[in-house]
Amino acid sequence: EVQLVESGGGLVQPGGSLRLSCAASGFTVSVYYMSWVRQAPGKGLEWVSGFYSGGNTNYADSVKGRLTISRDNSKNTLYLQMNSLRAEDTAVYYCARGTSSYYYFDSWGQGTLVTVSS
Amino acid sequence: EIVLTQSPGTLSLSPGARATLSCRASQSVSSIYLAWYQQKPGQAPRLLIYGASSRATGIPDRFSGSGSGTDFTLTISRLEPEDFAVYYCQHYGSSPLWTFGQGTKVEIK
C-alpha cells in the first residue's frame, strides 16, 4: 500500500526556518516525481516544489531561493527545507507523488501544518 | 500563466441529484493535462479524473469528466452522501507547471 507521512510542521516566527519530512512506504521515491503542495487556511491548492526521479528540481516563483527540496533515497524520504519564512507561507503542506507522466498527483500524505507568526 | 476558473463557487444539491462542475482555462489547453481532485474536510486531495476524462483507480463510474480547449466539466451523475466535498481542477504545463482552480464546494441542500 502506498503511504506518505509528513512531519516537521509547527509554529515558527517570521524569518525563521523549518524542515519538513515526507516518509514514503509501498513504493520507491527515487523512481517517481515527488512534490510539495500547500494549502493556506480556507484557501485552494498551490504547487510549491518538486523533485524529478532524475534529480532535477523545480520551484514556484513565490518560494524560489527560500525553500529547498531534497531527497534521501536510503530513507525513502522527501524533505523541504524552509528558510526566511513569511506569514504568507502559513499553510498545510502536503507531500504528493506524481503519476508516471508527472502530469498529476495520484497519492497524497495527510499534510503537516506550518504556522508563521510572531 | 494559465488561470483556471471554476464555477460555481458553491453548488447546493440534494443526495441523488446530478452535479455539473465547470473549469474554464484562460487559454486553450490540451485535455491530456487536465485533472480533477476531490477534497473532504481535514483530508488530503484525491485524484478523481485525469486526461480530462479518464477515471483514476478506484473511482466510481458516477464520476465523469469531459471537455476540451478551454472548457472542462466534472459530472457526478447521482450524488452520494460521501460526494459532498470540494472539487479542484488542475492543469500541467504552464508556469508554474502545476496550477489549480480555486475549487467548487458541493454542499448538501
Q: With CB atoms and an 8 Å threshold, state whether A45 touches B46.
A: no
Query: What mean pLDDT is predicted for residues B48-64?
Result: 97
In DSSP terms, B108 is beta-bridged to: B13
Whether the predicted pLDDT of A89 surpasses 80:
yes
* Closest CB from B32, B57, B97 relative to A58: B97
* Closest CB from A47, A109, A110 relative to B98: A47
Whether the predicted pLDDT of B94 surpasses 80:
no
Residue type at position B89: C
Per-residue pLDDT of B6-25, as tens digits, reads 999 999 999 999 999 999 99
CA distance A65 to chain B (A): 15
Q: What are residue A29's phi and psi, to 5 degrees?
A: -65, -30
pLDDT of A23: 98
Cell digits of residue A64:
524560489
Query: What mean pLDDT is predicted for residues B81-87?
Result: 97
Percent of chain A with pLDDT over 70: 100
Per-residue pLDDT of A29-51, as tens digits, reads 999 999 999 999 999 999 999 99
B98 contacts in chain A (CB < 8 Å): 35, 37, 47, 50, 105
pLDDT of B95: 76
**What's the rounded Cα separation, in Å, for the pair A37 and B90?**
12
CA B19 centroid distance within chain: 11
Rg (CA), chain B: 13
